[in-house]
Amino acid sequence: MLDHYIDRQTPMANTLSNPIITTRGLRKSYDRKTEILKGIDITIRQGERVALIGSNGCGKSTLLRCLIGLHEVTAGEVTALGETFTGLPAGAQKARLRRQTGFVFQKHCLVRRRSVLSNVIHGMMSEPGRWRAFSQMTAPEPWRHAALEALSWVNLTDKAAARADALSGGQQQRVSIARALVRRPALLIADEPAASLDPVSGNDVMALFARLCADHGITLLFTSHDMAHARSFADRIVALRAGRVLFDKPAATTTDADLDEVFRVEPR
Amino acid sequence: MRYSVSNPADPLPSRWPRLSPLTFALTMAALALVIVSVGQVAPTPGQLIDGGPSMVRLVDRMTPPNLDPAFLARIFWRIIETFQIAIAGAAIGIVLSLPIGWFAARGVGPLGNLGAFLSKAFISFLRTVPDLVWALLFVATVGLGAVAGTMTIVVDTIGFCGRFFAEAIEDSEKEPQEAISAIGGNRLSILFGAILPDVMPSLINTSLFALEKAVRSSVVLGLVGAGGIGQELKAAFDLFQYRNASTIILVIFLIVLGMEWVTDRLRRKVQ
Collapsing DSSP to helix, strand or coil, B155 comes out as helix
Quick check: B10 pLDDT over 80?
A: no
Domains detected in chain A: 3-250 (3.40.50.300)
**Residues of chain B found within 8 Å of residue A113, distances taken between Cβ atoms:** 197-198, 200
Residue B33 lies in a domain: no
pLDDT at B90: 93
Mean pLDDT of B233-255: 88
Mean pLDDT of A106-117: 86
Residue B178 lies in a domain: yes
Per DSSP, the residues of chain A read --HHHHTT------STTSEEEEEEEEEEESSSS-EEEEEEEEEEETT-EEEEE--TTSSHHHHHHHHTTSS--SEEEEEETTEEESSS--HHHHHHHHHTEEEE-SS----TTSBHHHHHHGGGTTSTTGGGGG-TTTS-HHHHHHHHHHHHHTT-GGGTTSBGGGS-HHHHHHHHHHHHHTT--SEEEEESTTTTS-HHHHHHHHHHHHHHHHHHT-EEEEEES-HHHHHHH-SEEEEEETTEEEEEEEGGG--HHHHHHHTPPPP-
**A122–B180 CB contact, under 8 Å:** yes
**B183–A123 CB contact, under 8 Å:** yes
B201: closest chain A residue by CA:
A113
Residue B200 lies in a domain: yes
pLDDT at A65: 87
Q: How confident is residue A6, by pLDDT bands cut at 50, 70 and 90?
A: very low
- Range in A91-105, A238-252, B125-139, B158-172 with the lowest mean pLDDT: A91-105
Q: Tell me how long chain A is.
A: 268
Q: Which residue has the higher pLDDT, A12 or B60?
A: B60
**Does the beta carbon of B182 lie under 8 angstroms from any beta carbon of chain A?**
yes
Residue B18 lies in a domain: no
High-pLDDT (> 70) share of chain A, %:
92
To the nearest whole Å, the CA of B182 is away from the closest chain A CA by 7
Residue B193 lies in a domain: yes
Task: Centre a 10 Å sphere on the Cβ of residue B171 and count the other Cβ atoms it contains.
Answer: 13
A107: closest chain B residue by CA:
B175
pLDDT tens digits, A173-218: 889 989 988 888 889 999 888 887 788 888 888 888 888 888 888 8
pLDDT tens digits, A115-147: 999 999 998 887 877 788 888 888 889 999 999
Print the domain residue range for B142. 67-270
Mean pLDDT of B161-179: 91
pLDDT at B4: 57
**Does the beta carbon of B192 lie under 8 angstroms from any beta carbon of chain A?**
yes
Q: How confident is residue B167, by pLDDT bands cut at 50, 70 and 90?
A: very high
Quick check: B92 pLDDT over 50?
A: yes
pLDDT at A7: 37
Q: How confident is residue A13, by pLDDT bands cut at 50, 70 and 90?
A: very low
Q: Which residues of A touch B (CB under 8 A)?
A: 68, 70, 94-95, 98-99, 101-103, 105, 107, 109-114, 122-123, 125-126, 130-131, 133-135, 176, 179-180
Query: Domain total for chain B?
Result: 1
Q: How confident is residue B166, by pLDDT bands cut at 50, 70 and 90?
A: very high
Quick check: A3 pLDDT over 60?
A: no
pLDDT tens digits, B11-53: 777 777 778 889 999 999 999 999 999 988 988 888 888 888 8
Residue B243 lies in a domain: yes
**Residues of chain B found within 8 Å of residue A70, distances taken between Cβ atoms:** 178, 181-182
**Residues of chain A found within 8 Å of residue B188, distances taken between Cβ atoms:** 131
Q: What is the mean pLDDT of chain B?
A: 87
- B interface mutation test: which of A71, A81, A134, A137 has the most B CBs within 10 A? A134
To the nearest whole Å, the CA of A119 is away from the closest chain B CA by 9
**Does the beta carbon of B200 lie under 8 angstroms from any beta carbon of chain A?**
yes
High-pLDDT (> 90) share of chain B, %:
30
CATH number of the structural domain spanning residue B120: 1.10.3720.10
Contact (Cβ atoms closer than 8 angstroms) between residue A102 and residue A120: no
Q: How confident is residue B220, by pLDDT bands cut at 50, 70 and 90?
A: confident
**A111–B188 CB contact, under 8 Å:** no
Among B97-101, B140-144, B171-175, which range has the highest average pLDDT? Answer: B97-101
Q: What is the mean pLDDT of chain A?
A: 83
Residue B241 lies in a domain: yes
Residue B228's contacts (CB-CB under 8 Å, 6 or more residues apart) are B78, B81, B82, B85, B146, B149, B218, B219, B221, B222
**B192–A70 CB contact, under 8 Å:** no
pLDDT at B6: 57
Q: How confident is residue A230, by pLDDT bands cut at 50, 70 and 90?
A: confident
**A133–B189 CB contact, under 8 Å:** yes
- Considering only CA atoms, which of A8, A75, A14 is closest in space to residue A39? A75
Q: What value of ipTM does the predicted structure carry?
A: 0.73
- Could you say which DSSP state residue B195 is in? I
Q: If you count residue pairs, one on A and one on B, with CB atoms under 8 Å apart, how many are there? A: 73
